[in-house]
Amino acid sequence: MASGLHIGLDVGSTRTKAVAHDDVGTVLAVHDTATAWSTSPAGRSETSGAALLAGALTALHGLLARLDEDRRVVSIGVTGMAESGVLLDSSGAEAAPVVAWYDPRGRDEVAALPAAVRDAFTATTGLRADSQPSAATLAWGRRHGWEVSSSSTWLSVPEFVVAALGGDRVAEPSLASRTGLFDTVRGVASDDVADALGLPRHLLPPPRPAGTSAGTVTADGVDARLRGAVLTVAGHDHPVAAVGAGAVHPGHLFNGAGTADVLLRSVDVRVTPADRARLAAAGVSVGAHVLDGLQAVLGGVSAGVVLRRVLALTGAAGGGRGEGELRRALAQAAAPTPRPGPGVRVVAGGRGGDDVQVVVEREAGPAEVLAAALHHVGEQITALLTLVESVVGPHSAAVTSGGWTGMTCVSALKREVIPRLTFSSVQLPGCRGAAVLGALAATGAQDQRGLAALLDVWGAPRPVPA
């Protein structure tokens, strides 16, 4: 008899990905689709909950089409982007568009708060007081006609997908801690933040940890094989990916080498308000992990953006055969090229690090320009790692995963700037982490005490030669 399926669903900013695993964690199939957004001429990016749900179902149904029909779906763990969410009215209907987490709406509302209130916001939530937290978007929306009342409910994107599939409305702590409406020190709703922004209290549903059941799939219009599958909100994509890559203990560092180069430290020590402020000033947050008893110290640099822009200049950014060959040749040539090279500089700036400047003061080839980009990225990673470790101490182990590590020069850079680093063989660690948390929920777990044993059954992700 075929074993059951445990699906990890990752609703990401760019792609929505679904991966099926068997009862021991073996990957059986993968399917993904583009995440739908519309962008206005003014740079505003938004979508709808209905569009996100449609994308999730496309990924799930496409996945099932790749599998034998006798495979039964036992569980679905849903992870994804955090600050974006769906505002529901008292009837459960969508009451506003879904604003992208990087959209600047809410900046003015937060900037108008007194300095002391912004400081208190960071001390309470562990977030920088800017436009990114969900509370800023909600404050902007209320000012511009959204109906945000005491009967409203705010669900992050993964929480909404779970509810739309028929599950319960729950607030998973790692996602709640990205909203700005959650006190990450006490683990309760932050009423003071809501009051300061003119928002009603209790917009978040009751908390429920990752790896516990949030109900089952009962929605109409889904493949029959999905019906009855146990659902769990697996949490924020970065800490879920850390679980999928095997970084599951205090002191572990996870490096996600995607569009944003993410550094996530798992810690079990209290971070003081003064250190929270110092970290937040550099864009580093302190919030709930998906794992009970841990906090996630999370920051990122613009490595993927910088490298993609530089490769585009060389004609090696695409996926065509010739472009791929050129990219591999550049990567091999850039790895041993001295950094920094005189007269060649690459610098990134702006809020998202997406303003990339290439300065060439002499004759220089593409490999030297790519080496200069790597030098800049390495400086960013080193500075971020130094800051984090000045607060929580050095990491005991580190693992990296992501598409950029497939480039020779990037993997060489990672070994250079991140001590004690191993390279994970997991291609989509967010989906793996979500799937194992879904498998835990399917056991009827009321907490995460059985997770370690389940991870043993699934087997530790195998490191690959660096």
Task: Give the global pTM.
Answer: 0.94
Between 326 and 55, whose confidence is greater?
A: 55
Could you tell me if residue 127 is inside a domain?
yes
**Res 465 pLDDT > 60:** no
pLDDT band at 2 (very low <50, low <70, confident <90, very high): low
Residue 353 in this model has a pLDDT that exceeds 80: no
Q: CA-based Rg of the chain, rounded to a whole angstrom?
A: 22
- pLDDT-above-90 percentage for the chain: 81
Average pLDDT over residues 417-423: 96
Query: Which CATH number covers residue 454?
Result: 3.30.420.40
Q: Backbone phi, then psi, for 83, in 5-degree steps?
A: -65, -30
User: At 341, is the pLDDT very low, low, confident or very high (cuts 50, 70, 90)?
Assistant: confident
| pLDDT-derived band at 260, boundaries 50, 70, 90 | confident
For residue 443, count CB atoms less than 10 angstroms from its CB and return exposed for 0-12, middle for 13-18, buried for 19 or more.
middle
| Over residues 237-254, mean pLDDT | 96
Gap between the Cα atoms of 19 and 7, Å rounded: 6
Over range 374-387, report the average pLDDT: 95
Q: Is residue 273 part of a domain?
A: no
Pairing between strand 230-236 and 73-80?
A: parallel
Comparison of pLDDT for 154 and 327, the residue scoring more:
154
Q: Is residue 74 part of a domain?
A: yes
Mean pLDDT of 133-139: 97
DSSP-derived secondary structure letter, 75: E
Indicate the average pLDDT of the chain: 93
Its domain, for residue 238, covers: 5-247+428-462
Give kind and range of the element (H or E) at residue 295.
Answer: strand 295-301
Instruction: With residue 416 as reference, give the H or E element that holds it.
Output: helix 408-417
At residue 24, does pLDDT exceed 90? yes
95 contacts 137 by C-beta, under 8 angstroms? no
265 to each of 2, 223, 238, how far by Cα in Å? 38, 38, 11
Within-domain flag for 412: no
pLDDT bucket at 302, cuts 50 / 70 / 90: confident
Higher pLDDT, 43 or 425: 425
pLDDT at 464: 46
Residue 1 banded pLDDT, cuts 50, 70, 90: very low
d(CA 264, CA 257): 11
pLDDT for the residue numbered 339: 86
Residue 453 has what pLDDT? 95
CA–CA separation, 129 and 272 (whole Å): 17
* Number of domains, the chain: 1
The reply to whether 403 falls in a domain is no
The pLDDT score that the predictor gives to residue 462 is: 55
pLDDT score at 350: 67
Query: What pLDDT is attached to residue 176?
Result: 97
pLDDT digits (tens, 9 = 90+) for 36-89: 999 988 778 999 999 999 999 999 999 999 998 888 999 999 999 999 999 999
Which whole number is the average pLDDT over 372-379? Answer: 94
pLDDT at 352 over 80: no
* 140 pLDDT more than 80: yes
Range name among 29-33, 68-72, 177-181, 269-273 with the lowest pLDDT average: 68-72
pLDDT recorded at residue 42: 79
- Indicate whether 211 pLDDT > 50: yes
Distances (CA, A) of 259 to 17, 117, 377, 403, 404: 16, 33, 12, 9, 9
Does the pLDDT value for residue 105 go beyond 70? yes
**Quick check: is 384 in a domain?**
no
Q: Determine, yes or no, domain membership for 368.
A: no
